[in-house]
Amino acid sequence: QSALTQPASVSGSPGQSITISCTGTIVDIGDYNFVSWYQQHPGKAPKVIIFDVSHRPSGLSNRFSGSKSGNTASLTISGLQAEDEADYYCASYTSSTTLYVFGTGTRVTVL
């Protein structure tokens, strides 16, 4: 099972919106609504920000939103802030050889 495909980097100015894509196949994103997104700041453990494609954990900012179309999931960060500068990873359930697979990761830079 290969990693899900994400763009290596995405950037935006404060206040702008950015979208990160996560492309899989029919055996993972395409067939299941079990996609989650993680934010990881340097030297820190990841933090879940979206689960089940579009649900936010309690207390998390509504500037983060998730969606899915076909084999591709997306994370949108609106009203970009300096603190959003981090690495972002998608993860999906898969019916392939493993149970879960992460994306390749996207570095978000706030200009």
- Minimum distance of other proteins from residue 8's CB (angstroms): 10
Among candidate residues 8, 6, 25, 13, the one with its CA nearest the CA of residue 75:
6
Distance CA 54, CA 3 (A): 20
Residues β-bridged to residue 75: 20, 66
- Minimum distance of other proteins from residue 100's CB (angstroms): 4
Asked whether position 24 contacts other proteins by CB under 8 A, the answer is no
Between 50 and 77, whose beta carbon lies closer to other proteins? 50
**Which residues contact residue 43 at a Cβ distance below 8 angstroms, ignoring those fewer than 6 apart?**
none
DSSP 5: B
Asked whether position 99 contacts other proteins by CB under 8 A, the answer is yes
Asked whether position 91 contacts other proteins by CB under 8 A, the answer is yes
Asked whether position 54 contacts other proteins by CB under 8 A, the answer is no
Binds other proteins by CB under 8 A, chosen from 71, 84, 103, 108: 103
